[in-house]
Chains A and B, each alone.
Chain A
Amino acid sequence: MHSNLETQFAVGTPAEADSPPPVEIHDMTVAYHRKPVLWDIDLVVPEGKLVGIVGPNGAGKTTLIKAVLGLVPLASGKVEIYGRPYRRQRHLVGYVPQRESVDWDFPVSVLDVVTMGTYGRLGWCRRPGKSERELAQDCLQQVGMEALADRQIRQLSGGQQQRVFLARALAQSAQIYFMDEPFAGVDAATEKAIINLLKELRAQRKTVLVVHHDLQTVQQYFDHVILLNMRLIACGPTETAFTAENLNTTYGGRLTILDKAAEAVRLGDRPR
C-alpha cells in the first residue's frame, strides 16, 4: 500500500513526494457495540489544507475524528499520521473537542485551560513553567482573549469558550488539527475570528480537519472536503468533490437541506 501511495504522490506535486501525507486512513471500520457507524473508509488528506468534514447527523463525523485519535477502537483498518501510527505521532496532533464534552464548572481559569495544550509535550510529572505560560498567553492573544485570562471558564460566552479551546489547540503547536464543530453555537464575530485563525494556520502549512455543519459556508471556508454518510461519499478538493451529485448522495432524500445546499452550490461563494 505504501509504495502505491508514494507513486501516487510522485504523480502529484514533486515537493511532497518524499513526505507521507498528514492523515491516511485505510480500510477503517468502526462499530459501537454492534452498531456500525463507519465502514470501509479510505482516504488521504493532503498537507497544508483546510479540510471540511461534512455529512448529515449521525453520519459518523465525530466518530471519524475520534477513531483517528484512538479514542474509539477500530473494528478494522489502520490510520497513519505522516506515515506512522498515531500513537507515535501524538505530538503532531492537536484536538478541539465539542464544547459540551467538558464540565464548565471545573475550577480552572482561562489561562489554565490554554496551558493544558502544552501538557502533552512536557511529559509525565513535569510542571508547566514560565515559557509554557508565556506561550499560552501568546495563544490567547491570537484569539483575542488575553483580557479574560483570569476568568473562570463558566463566565465566558459560548463563542469565547470556543476561542479558548482554539487557543489551547494552538498551544499544542501541532502540525495537524482536528476540530469538532468549532462553529457550533458561536456568534458571527467568533466565527469570523475562527476562520481567520484557520487561514493563518494554513499559511503556516498546517493541516486542519474541521467537522462542519453549515453547507452554505463549505465552499467559502474549505479547500478540501470529506463527504461522509457512514461511508465515504467523496474526498477531494472542494471544487471537484462538493458537487450537487455528491451532496445528493450524502444527504439522500433530505430535501430541505438538499435544496439549501443545491442553492449554495449554484450561487457559488455567496456571502452569508
Chain B
Amino acid sequence: MTGLSITAKVLIGTSLLGCVAGMAGSFVVLRRRALVGDMLAHAALPGLCIAYLVIGDRHRLGLLLGAFLAGLLAMGVLTLVTRTTRTKEDAAIGIVLSTFYAAGIVLLSVIAHVPQGNKAGLSTYLFGQASSMLDADIAILSVVSLVALVVLMALYKELKVFSFDPEFARSQGWPTLMLDMTMMGTLTVVTIVGLPIVGVVLMAALIIIPGAAARFWTERLGVMLVLSAVIGAATGSLGTLESSGQLAQWLGFDPLGLVTGGIAMPTGPVIVLCGAAIFLFSVLFAPRRGVISRAVSEVNLRRKTARENLLRTLYELSEHNLEQRPPIALEAIRARRAWSPWAARWLLAAASRRGDVERKQNQVRLTPKGLRRAAEVTRAHRLWEMFLIEGANIASDHVDRDADSIEHLLTPDTLDALEKRLADSGALPEEDRQVPVSPHALEESESTPSRDP
C-alpha cells in the first residue's frame, strides 16, 4: 500500500467507491428513493462536526462514526415524518437535508471560533479532495466497500424481493424492517466514506448515476447490479485519471478539456462529469431503452402505420371493383383518414415512389403490385380484428407484452396461426381466403357510407 504513488492509491479508492456506491445506489434508484442518498450526504455534516468537537481530527474513524450516526438519525426522522404526518416524502427529504446541513454549517462556524480550531480538515468533506486522502482513508474506504459489497451480494435475493414488492416480502415472512435498515445502512456507510472524495453535494451523483445508467442497458436486476458496479468503478477511475492529468498524458489529448490550462481540477466534480458523460451516452445510445433507438422505432412505426393505413384505405375504396382498380379521388381518401392535405400528398408521393400507386392530378389508382400489397395489409388488419374478437383476453395480454404487436407488426407466423385458428372455427370465409370480410360491422354502417353503391 505505502509503496504506491498517490494517484494509484486514490485510483484504488475512487474505483472501489464508485463500484460499491453504484451497487447500493441501484437499489435505491429502483425503489424511487434516489434522493435519500443526497439527504444522507448532507445530513452527515453535523455528525462530523460534533465528532470533531468531541475527539478532534486525529481519528478518522471517529469522524466517520459521527457522520454515520447523524445519517442514521436523519433516516429515522425521515421515516417518522413520512409515516406519521401528511408531509410527503419529497418535502420531508428536503427539510431533513437542509436542516441537518444548516446545523452542520452552524457547528462549522462554532469550530472556527474554537481555539486551535482548524476546519480545513472538515472542509475536505464538504467539497471533496481525493488528493488529500491519507493511507488511513483508503484503508477504511477499501474495508467498508468490501464489506458492503459482501452484504449486498449475500442478501441479493432478499433485497430483490423487497425492492420489488415489500408487501409481498412481508407476507412471505422476510424481516422487511431489517432488510430496509440493512439497505439504508449500507447506503449510509457508503455515502459517508465517499464524502472526503467527492464532497457533500456531489455524493448523490455517485449513488444515482451508475444505477440509472445501467438501467438503460438491461432488464435484469442481476445484470444491472454488475453493470452499475462496472460503470461506477469506471466513473471513479476515469475521473481520477482525468483530474490528475494522467489521462491527457496517456491519450495525448484531453478528452474533457479540463486540465489544459494547467490548473489542478478538484477530483469530485471531474468524477461526476465523467459519470454524467457515461450516463448521457447510455441515455442516447442504449439499444431498446435509449432515446435514439426509441425515437427511431417510433418514427418507423408511425411511418409504417401511415403507409399501411393508406394502402388499406385505397383497398377499401377500390373493393367494390377490384379487377378494374378504379381511380380514387384524393378527397375520398382524406374523408376517411384525418390527414392534412400536406400529409396525404406526402404519403401518396412516397407510395408512388414505391410503385404502389399511379397518380393523375387529384386521383390515384393502385398498381397491380400496390393492390397485392394493399390486399395483404387489409387481410392482416381484418385478421387482427377477428383475433381481438375471438380472444380479446389473449390479445390484450399480447399487446401488453410486446408493444409492437398491433396489426402492422403481426409476424407471418402469428398470421398463419391466426388464419388457421380462424379457419378451424369457420370464421375465415372460404370463398375469399385472401381478404376476410371486415367483421367491423359498425364501420360499415356508420362511417363508410361512400362504400355503398
Contact = CB atoms under 8 A, between A and B. Distances in A.
Interface of A: 1, 4, 7-8, 26-27, 29, 33-36, 39-40, 42-44, 56, 58-59, 75-78, 105, 229-232, 234-235, 249-254
A229 B388 contact: yes
A231 B391 CA distance: 13
B430 interface: no
A250 B442 CA distance: 14
A29 B339 CA distance: 13
Nearest to B334: A1
B392 A229 contact: yes
Contacts of A56: 392-393, 396
Given A35-B400, A251-B392, A253-B392, 19 more contacts: A1-B336, A4-B335, A4-B450, A34-B297, A35-B399, A36-B403, A39-B406, A40-B443, A56-B393, A59-B396, A75-B305, A76-B337, A105-B86, A231-B388, A235-B446, A249-B392, A252-B389, A252-B393, A254-B393
B395 interface: yes
B447 A34 contact: no
9 contacts: A8-B449, A27-B338, A34-B297, A75-B305, A229-B388, A230-B396, A251-B393, A252-B390, A253-B392
Contact of A44 (B336, B406, B446): B446
B302 interface: yes
A40 to B, nearest CB: 8
Among all A-B residue pairs, the 7 with the closest Cβ atoms: A252-B392, A35-B403, A34-B403, A78-B338, A252-B393, A42-B447, A105-B86
A53 to B, nearest CB: 15
B385 to A, nearest CB: 7
B147 interface: no
Nearest to A35: B403
Nearest to B407: A39
A235 B442 contact: yes
B350 interface: no
Nearest to B450: A4
A199 B400 CA distance: 37
Given A33-B294, A44-B446, A250 B336 contact: no
A123 B94 CA distance: 35
B446 A76 contact: no
The size bracket of the interface on B is 20 to 34
A254 B335 CA distance: 37
A77 B404 contact: no
B383 to A, nearest CB: 14
B338 A252 contact: no
A249 B389 contact: yes
Interface string B361-405: 000000000000000000000000100111111111001100110
Contacts of B404: 34
B446 A34 contact: no
Contacts of B389: 249, 252
B105 interface: no
Contacts of B294: 33-34
Nearest to A60: B396
A57 to B, nearest CB: 9
B442 A232 contact: yes
A1 B391 CA distance: 33
B406 A26 contact: no
B301 interface: yes
A241 to B, nearest CB: 9
B298 interface: yes
Given A42-B447, A58-B396, A105-B86, A34 B338 contact: no
A4 B391 contact: no
A50 to B, nearest CB: 20
A42 B440 CA distance: 11
Contacts of B385: 231
A151 to B, nearest CB: 16
Most chain A CB within 10 A, of B337, B338, B391, B450, is at B338
Contacts of B298: 33-34
Nearest to B309: A76
A27 B301 contact: no
Given A27-B337, A44-B446, A77-B338, A34 B301 contact: yes
Contact of B443 (A34, A42, A44, A59): A42
Given A4-B450, A36-B403, A42-B443, A252 B395 contact: yes
A75 B339 CA distance: 11
Contacts of A251: 392-393
Given A76-B338, A253-B393, A33 B388 contact: no
Given A1-B335, A4-B449, A26-B447, A36 B391 contact: no
